[in-house]
Amino acid sequence: MARGLLTRSAVRKQSRAASKEATAQYESAMYAVSIMGDQLIAARARGATVAERHVLHARIDRELARAIDSSSMLYQRLLAAAGGVHHGDTDPEVQLWKRRLNTALTVRSSHQLAEFDDAGVVTPSIVQPPSRAAYGPHQAGLDFDVDSHT
């Protein structure tokens, strides 16, 4: 056997170790999100400043990103090992990680909406509507200027 090539058992061992690490990372991130969610509710109840709430939102966002990364990586790895989409539909491990990934994505989506609704934490950007002069016919000699006084 050539140097640098891994045996099947070594590959399986690395895969199991990566799966355990991703599982631990997902579970710890989601646990941290639940704890910080409770802290955020308590901060709102006691009238915490916008800066304090913003810090909690940022920490929750980071933990959710970590959970999504680990569950996505493990889901894709398990799906590939199961033989792709058609075979992964029947694999219970693939389905478990698909549900976990969807859970993390749903929690992130609802948290981002809550963050937007939290007064003062996220300021909506003001969008300037396009100028009306941008619409209409644009042909040489026929451009209509709205501000023209002729």
pLDDT computed for residue 35 by the predictor: 95
- 6: pLDDT strictly greater than 60: no
pLDDT at 39 over 70: yes
Q: Is residue 145 part of a domain?
A: no
19 located within any domain: yes
* 118 found inside a domain: yes
Domains in the chain, number:
1
Whether 26 is in a domain gets the answer yes
The answer on pLDDT for 7 being more than 80 is no
On the question of pLDDT at 9 being above 60, the answer is yes
Within a domain: 143: no
Would 101 be classed as within a structural domain? Answer: yes
Mean predicted lDDT score pLDDT of the chain: 79
Q: Is residue 144 part of a domain?
A: no
pLDDT, tens digit (0-9, with 9 covering 90-100), for 88-138? 778 888 889 999 999 999 999 888 888 777 766 665 556 555 555 555 555
Q: Residue 30: which residues within 8 A CB-CB, separation 6 or more?
A: 63, 67, 103, 104, 107
Domain range for 91 is: 8-134
Give the pLDDT of residue 1: 45
3-state secondary structure the chain: CCCCCCCHHHHHHHHHHHHHHHHHHHHHHHHHHHHHHHHHHHHHHCCCCHHHHHHHHHHHHHHHHHHHHHHHHHHHHHHHHHCCHHHHCCCHHHHHHHHHHHHHHHHHHHHHHHHHHCCCCCCCCCCCCCCHHHCCCCCCCCCCCCCCCC
Residue 22 falls inside a structural domain: yes
Q: What is the pTM of this model?
A: 0.70
Of 70 and 8, the structure prediction assigns the larger pLDDT to 70
> What is the mean pLDDT of the segment spanning 23-42?
94
Region 70-89: what's the mean pLDDT?
Answer: 84
